Amino acid sequence: MIKLELSNDFNLDDTVTCGQIFRFDKELDNSYTIILDDRVINIKKEDNTLLVESNNEDNLKNKIIEYFDLDRDYDNINKQILLMDSKLKKVIDSCIGFKIIKQYPFETIMEYIISSNNRVPSIRNSLDKISEKYGKKVTFKNKIYYLFPNYIDLKNVSIDEFRTFKVGFRDKYLYDVVQSINKNDLNIDEIYKLDTDKSLEKLMSFNGVGPKVSSCILLFGYQKFDVFPVDTWVKKIMKEEYNLDTQEKIIKYAKENYKEYSGIVIQYLFHYNRNKK
């Protein structure tokens, strides 16, 4: 068990449950058990302290800080966003302590290809099935978990086998991208070095990866915040509040107005809209 004192606002509940990540459980004591690339953690917030346990506590503190983006100055970012667009005041107020989670890129690619025209429980189910068959088994607090496999582990998975993971028509998309990564046609580390437009172009050259999916991959997998993944929710808000009715107009507006914080703004909008109802 490690303790981590928080020096700024952190809303653990919203950050975990808002749809950025899929493989987590809420426990009876309000803590969360999360499968976090190379380990399983259990995390709980008490006042200004994070209590974290893991099957592997090596470097755990840094891992948590990195994963939950705790070192970034979100207060300052929120101020900047407000200066750019004062209409976002109520949205930002509802998102204090919300962070963009840093996920492992390969897992993010697979997750968001599966996410297209799909529901969260179904996405979760497919990710679990893939992990159960190909991921490393971990025992933590007397329960069994499976880490998400690496691309090398999935090298020999056929299209038909992907179908057994209940991914539906996305089977061939997953197969193609896994093959491409294994052949180094797509180098997942190189994406870090490319600028956002080049990365989007590279990712969208794959079938099943469009503007929304590629933007999510860059946002959650690569911390490229100058993307704007437009989905049905955000489309609705931007139409109502800004009278922008096409994806192109929305992206253009976000680029010009929110610049390098576009990804954070869109995540705030998504979160705000889901919570208000």
Partner DNA sequence: CCCCAGGTCGTCA
Partner DNA sequence: TGACGACATGGG
Binding site for DNA (CB under 7 A): 18-20, 115-122, 125, 163, 166-169, 204, 206-214, 216, 229, 231-234, 246, 248, 266-267, 270
User: Which residue, 76 or 117, is less far from DNA as judged by CB?
Assistant: 117
Q: How far is the CB of 139 from DNA (least distance, A)?
A: 26
Tokens 């050259």 appear where? Answer: 205
Element (H, E) at 4: strand 2-5
Cβ-based neighbours of 38, under 8 Å, separated by 6 or more? 56, 147
Min separation Cβ 18 and DNA, Å: 6
Question: Among residues 248 and 260, whose Cβ is nearest to DNA?
Answer: 248
Give the containing element (helix H, strand E) for 179: helix 171-182
**Nearer CB in complex with DNA: 38/161:** 161
Contacts of 246 (CB under 8 A, 6+ apart): none
Nearer to DNA, 154 or 234 (CB): 234
Cα 203 to Cα 261: distance, rounded to the nearest angstrom: 21
Residues in contact with 65: Cβ distance below 8 Å, sequence separation at least 6, in sequence order: 4, 71
CB neighbour burial string for 4-15, b if at least 16 within 10 angstroms, e if fewer: beeeeebbbebb
Q: How many Å separate Cα 144 from the centre of its chain?
A: 24
Q: Could you tell me the smallest distance in angstroms from the CB atom of residue 107 to DNA?
A: 15
Q: How far is the CB of 177 from DNA (least distance, A)?
A: 11
Amino acid at 231: D
| 113 vs 147 by CB, closer to DNA | 113
The residue whose two tokens read 């963009």 is 100
Q: Reduce the DSSP state of residue 66 to 3 states and report it.
A: helix
Q: Which of residues 154 and 269 has its CB atom nearest to DNA in the complex? A: 269
**Least separation in angstroms between CB 55 and DNA:** 27
Residue 53 CB, nearest distance to DNA (Å)? 26
